[in-house]
Structure 1
Amino acid sequence: ASGRGRDIPDADMVEDPSEVVVTAKTKGPRPVFSFAIPRAAMADCARLSFDKRAKRIELWCKPGG
């Protein structure tokens, strides 16, 4: 699953008894999402696009590159 939302429930899925659910009464700080890609790893990439409205970054590269 991608994003931060919950997965769609699967009727055949067995609940995991070791699963832990964490709740809080106060809201914490906003998460900071960051990553670094070395220039050499981007050698086979053709395009990098930013979609601020959708809050999405896309990196287009050759498969297996």
Structure 2
Amino acid sequence: MKIIEITISPTGETTVQTKGFAGSSCRDATRALEKALGLVQSDQATAEMYQPVSTDQHISQKGG
């Protein structure tokens, strides 16, 4: 399950954390949120960032 967690501190500082995303897909998923929330002060990669992204490939061949 993919989760995007947004935490807002009492001082207004926000933290965006992703869970369940493999590779850099987390950055694609949070890009609009980060842009809307303002300046990004830090970016920490988790172990999930370094996991290979699985892709489903469907090959169909028609005989002729």
Higher Cα Rg, which structure: 1
More helix by share: 2
Which has the bigger relative contact order, CA under 8 A and spacing at least 6? 2
TM-score (norm 1): 0.22
TM-score (norm 2): 0.22
